[in-house]
């Protein structure tokens, strides 16, 4: 499949309703543009500058990774991963067309929250960074403070998602406090956003992206890979289960030893260690969380 | 004697407590109608499945005994009852009904596939005695002559955590939960498509097969808890 099969010129999107800007560009709601295979409201994410550095075929390859997922898995896939669905180029007929942006699904309402800041309330995506706040800070910002059972389920869900991607040879890359969203009702769940930066194992990244400063692996120059995903997953888990604590790669093992049961602490220590080969798989994390019951809570002090 | 194709029995267990009154019940009453229309269009599938409906509130009853839906003179109309919400009577009746149907179909010379039960509720089992529904579930799974797959469907005020506990077998069985922004009646409508898709594709497999959730407008209405097989390595999945 060539990129032209998945590309659109901007006028084909119809009306663009601004939804605000972000670090990576502008976001527009697309009230007139629909895709039969993903029957949910769509958005257009316009890259900050027309990005001559992004190869259209590279973006198209990421889009087609979704199509390679088994058909019965796609509804679940689409409700847990904000994946690029079409690419938008400046000139559809030009041989050297540049990528202007991508079409993705709208983030479902359940993954938004009201945030109180300086006397004003804003509706914002419920980012994982809110999960890392202690009870008082969360209350000051008008945010929920999920209980332990919800946090364990969120970690389980994230482990499942990462395991799913790895099972399909996909590196998520930028697991961070901004790219993992969560909801608490009707049941705790997670959603990964900014999936345009994913990478197929054995392929070069399409969109150059470094590690988020607060999820920097021991070797900051190491490219994003399965093992850096696993480092970040381990760090995410211990942060989510020790809200309010300042947890870095250096302190994660110690925090885990004082917080989790022995199995959990061992998994965290191996995840954040310097030996990438020793990091437990996302599947191992998933099975750990699955094995827990409310009668054998592994966490103290939450 | 030639090979007898297996019949797959489906049990639709539907909450008719007072809170279902109105649009929710109207949609619930569409389940059998739409399923009958789908089976009428696919006689080959219809030959291989049988449908039963049980309703429950504080009590439970079989409103449509296991049957070939297209040979049913009139489809029952569900009505709400004002005697509370209990899961225990529904699970007990499901156990007795499956055992009875299994013996009946066997006596009639049919091979019987694994039954599947969709358990739809919009409320918590407030009126069950402590531990009652848990014991009923354990009894159903331990003593049923042909233990069913149980697919819980959680809408409105029901507790997804309680309904998740009903899912059987685990892992592998989807749990259908209404999305946060969806209306209960829309969730039931989306569920109908899941039921129809499952019934039609199960006719080929002699057991319940959960196809993709194929509603075109309510993707987020239903979250299926995915199975572990999706994330295990191929060699591991194949070795089990």
DSSP assignment of B31-74? HHHHHHHHHHT-HHHHTTEEEEEEEESSSEEEEEEEE-GGG-SS
Instruction: Determine the length of chain B.
Output: 240
- d(Cα A102, Cα A196) in Å, to the nearest integer? 8
For residue A32, the tally of other CB atoms under 10 A from its CB is 11
Q: What is the pTM of this model?
A: 0.61
Distance from CA of A288 to the nearest CA of B (A): 13
pLDDT of residue B222 exceeding 80: no
pLDDT of residue A294: 45
DSSP state of A31: T
Locus of tokens 């399909």: A168
pLDDT of residue B129 exceeding 70, the answer is: yes
State the ipTM, two decimals: 0.82
Segment A79-84 mean pLDDT:
93
> In this predicted model, what pLDDT tens digit does every residue of A109-156 receive, in sequence order?
889 999 998 888 888 999 999 999 999 999 999 999 998 888 998 999
| Minimal-distance CA residue of chain A relative to B231 | A164
Interface A-B: count of C-beta contacts within 8 A: 72
pLDDT at A297 over 70: no
Domains and CATH numbers, chain A: 3-106 (3.30.200), 125-296 (1.10.510.10)
What's the pLDDT at A302?
45
Report residue A244 as tokens: 């309010």
Find the residue in B nearest to A72 (Cα): B212
Pick from A71, A79, A187: CB nearest B220:
A79
Q: Would the pLDDT of B208 be above 60?
A: no
Find the CB nearest B230 among A73, A185, A282.
A73
pLDDT at B204: 60
Residue contact A75–B219, C-beta within 8 A: yes
The candidate with the shortest Cα–Cα distance to A240, out of A103, A146, A121, is: A146
Place of tokens 């437990």: A280
Q: In chain B, where are the structural domains located?
A: 6-238
Summarize the confidence of residues A36-61 as an average pLDDT: 79
**Contacts (Cβ under 8 Å, ≥6 apart) of A171:** A165, A198, A199, A200, A201, A224, A225, A226, A228, A229
- Between B186 and A159, the higher pLDDT residue: A159
Taking any CB pair shorter than 8 Å as contact, residues of chain A touching chain B are 36, 38-40, 71-76, 78-79, 108-110, 160, 163-164, 166-167, 183, 185-187, 189, 282-283, 286-287, 290
Q: In angstroms, what is the C-alpha Rg of chain A?
A: 20
Share of chain B above pLDDT 90, in %: 28
Q: Which residues of B touch A283 (CB under 8 A)?
A: 231-232
Residue B235 CA: distances (Å) to CA of A97, B229, B238, B240: 42, 11, 5, 9
Instruction: Give the pLDDT mean for A255-267.
Output: 91
Q: Is pLDDT above 70 for B225?
A: no
pLDDT of residue A263: 92
Is the predicted pLDDT of residue A47 greater than 60, yes or no?
yes
Task: Summarize the confidence of residues B66-89 as an average pLDDT.
Answer: 90
Compute the distance between CA of residue B35 and CA of residue B221 in angstroms, rounded to an integer. 20
pLDDT higher than 90, residue A48: no
Provide the strand spans (E) within chain A: 7-9, 17-21, 25-30, 42-51, 86-89, 99-105, 112-117, 120-125, 170-171, 180-183, 189-192, 199-200
Is B161 close to A187, i.e. CB distance below 8 A? yes
Q: How far is CA B70 from CA B6, B28, B41, in A?
A: 18, 19, 10
Residues in A touching B233 (Cβ below 8 Å): 167
Interface test with A, best of B226, B235, B238, B240 (most A CBs within 10 A): B226
If you compute the radius of gyration of chain B from its CA atoms, what whole number of angstroms results?
17
Q: Which residues of chain B neighbour A74 with C-beta distances below 8 Å?
A: 212
Q: B211 contacts in A (CB within 8 Å)?
A: 72
CATH class of B6-238: alpha beta
Listed in sequence order, the residues at least 6 apart from A123 whose beta carbon sits closer than 8 Å to its beta carbon are A112, A113, A114, A115
Q: What is the mean pLDDT of chain A?
A: 86
Question: Looking at chain B, which residue has its C-alpha nearest residue A150?
Answer: B161
- Segment A200-249, tens digit of pLDDT: 888 777 776 678 888 888 887 778 889 999 999 999 999 999 999 889 99
Q: How many CB atoms lie within 10 A of CB A65?
A: 20
Nearest to A176 by CA among A102, A245, A252, A229: A229
A107's tokens: 């983030």
Q: Max CA-CA distance within chain B? A: 55
Closest CA–CA distance from residue A216 to any residue of chain B (Å): 26
For residue A251, pLDDT beyond 90: yes
Nearest residue on chain B to A71, judged by CA atoms? B212
């Amino acid at each position: 499949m060539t990129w032209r099969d998945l590309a659109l010129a901007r006028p084909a999107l119809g009306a663009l309703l601004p939804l605000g800007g972000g670090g990576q560009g502008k976001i527009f709601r697309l009230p007139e543009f629909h895709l039969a295979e993903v029957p949910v409201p769509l958005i257009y994410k316009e890259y900050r500058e027309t990005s001559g550095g992004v190869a259209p075929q590279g973006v198209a390859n990421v889009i087609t990774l979704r199509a390679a997922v088994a058909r019965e898995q796609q509804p679940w896939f689409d409700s847990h991963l904000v994946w690029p669905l079409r690419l938008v180029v400046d000139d559809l007929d030009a041989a050297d067309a540049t990528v202007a942006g991508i079409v993705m699904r709208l983030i479902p309402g359940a993954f938004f929250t009201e945030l109180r800041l300086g006397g004003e309330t804003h509706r914002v995506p419920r980012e994982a960074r809110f999960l890392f706040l202690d009870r008082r800070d969360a209350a000051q910002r008008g945010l929920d403070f999920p209980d332990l059972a919800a946090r364990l389920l969120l970690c389980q869900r994230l482990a499942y998602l990462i395991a799913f991607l790895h099972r399909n040879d996909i590196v998520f890359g930028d697991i961070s406090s901004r790219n993992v969203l969560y909801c608490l009702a009707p049941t705790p769940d997670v959603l990964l956003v900014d999936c345009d930066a994913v990478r197929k194992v054995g392929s070069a990244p399409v969109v150059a992206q470094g590690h988020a400063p607060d999820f920097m692996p021991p070797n900051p120059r190491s490219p994003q890979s399965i093992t850096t995903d696993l480092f970040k997953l381990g760090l995410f888990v211990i942060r989510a289960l020790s809200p309010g604590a300042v947890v870095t790669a250096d302190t994660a093992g110690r925090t885990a030893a004082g917080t989790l049961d022995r199995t959990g602490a061992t998994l965290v220590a191996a995840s954040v260690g310097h030996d990438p080969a020793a990091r437990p798989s996302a599947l191992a994390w998933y099975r750990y969380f699955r094995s827990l019951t409310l009668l054998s809570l592994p966490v103290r002090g939450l | 004697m030639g090979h007898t194709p297996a019949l797959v029995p489906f049990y639709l267990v539907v909450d008719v407590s007072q809170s279902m009154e109105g649009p929710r019940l109207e949609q619930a009453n569409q389940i059998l109608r739409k399923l009958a229309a789908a089976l009428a269009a696919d006689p080959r599938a219809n030959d291989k499945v049988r449908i039963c409906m049980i309703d429950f509130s504080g009590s439970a009853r079989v409103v449509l005994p296991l049957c070939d839906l297209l040979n049913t003179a009139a489809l029952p109309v569900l009505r709400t009852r004002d005697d509370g919400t209990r899961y225990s009577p529904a699970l007990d009746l499901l156990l007795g009904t499956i055992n009875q149907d299994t013996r009946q179909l066997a006596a009639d010379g049919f091979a019987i596939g694994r039954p599947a039960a969709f358990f739809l509720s919009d409320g918590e089992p407030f009126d069950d005695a402590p531990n009652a529904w848990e014991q009923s579930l354990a009894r159903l799974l331990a003593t049923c002559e042909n233990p069913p797959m149980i697919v819980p469907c959680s809408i409105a005020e029901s507790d997804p955590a309680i309904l998740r506990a009903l899912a059987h077998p685990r892992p592998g069985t989807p749990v259908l939960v209404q999305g946060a922004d969806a209306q209960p009646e829309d969730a039931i409508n989306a569920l109908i498509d899941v039921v129809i898709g499952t019934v039609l594709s199960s006719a080929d497999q002699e057991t319940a097969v959960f196809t993709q959730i194929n509603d075109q407008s309510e993707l987020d209405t239903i979250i299926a808890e995915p199975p572990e097989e999706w994330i295990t390595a191929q060699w591991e999945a194949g070795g089990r």
